[in-house]
Amino acid sequence: MRLFARWFAQARRADPVYHNAMTLATVAASGAPSARVVLLKAFGDEGFTFFTNYHSRKGRELAGNQRVALVFWWSPLKRQVRIEGRVTPVSRAESEAYFNSRPRAYRVGAWASRQSAVIASRRALLAQARQAAARFANGDVPCPPHWGGYRVTPTRMEFWTDQPNRLHDRLAYRRVRDGRWTLHRLSP
């Protein structure tokens, strides 16, 4: 995690806007893989945290299979981090605290969007957003019950750095008992 923290700080300096973009890979009940980019909101010894709609495709897939993979690709640094692990929902209090830190328009959007559901048109979506904004016009926007966070507890982390002649540097860490990690250097 210390190596990830160093690389993440360097990525933030190289790309202040999207340094926290990560690909999240899940698996459907049918066994079909699915991947999309989400934003990392926190990380530490407990794992990597992101937030989403529980009813979305990814939310349904996470409910059915807690094994996931994450990938960070930092092009300016020519570095990649791959993470495998298990996901668990964060506490309601943690979800609400993060939700309340978001801009008001984002909070309204969480009520307006039935993420991953088919919609009639962009116009229909914007109408839902106006209705949600009107619903909460006179007060705060509470965290919807269908929205919250997940934390990925890593079991494997691989750090990749581009090198000349495609002889890339690869370090693989695997979690073993008692929270300790083993380290292996991998052939490119």
Q: Report the catalytic residues.
A: 166
The angle, 0 to 180 degrees and rounded to 10, between the axes of the packed helices 122-135 and 104-112 is 120
Contact 7, 74 (CB under 8 A): yes
**Residue with token string 């992101």:** 50
The CA-based angle 179-185-188, given to 5 degrees, is 135
One-letter amino acid of 186: L
Residues in Cβ contact with 136 at an 8 Å cutoff, skipping those fewer than 6 apart:
107, 108, 111
Q: Is 122 left (phi over 0), alpha (psi -120 to 50) or beta?
A: alpha
Residues 39, 50 contacting (CB under 8 angstroms): yes
Amino acid at 172: A
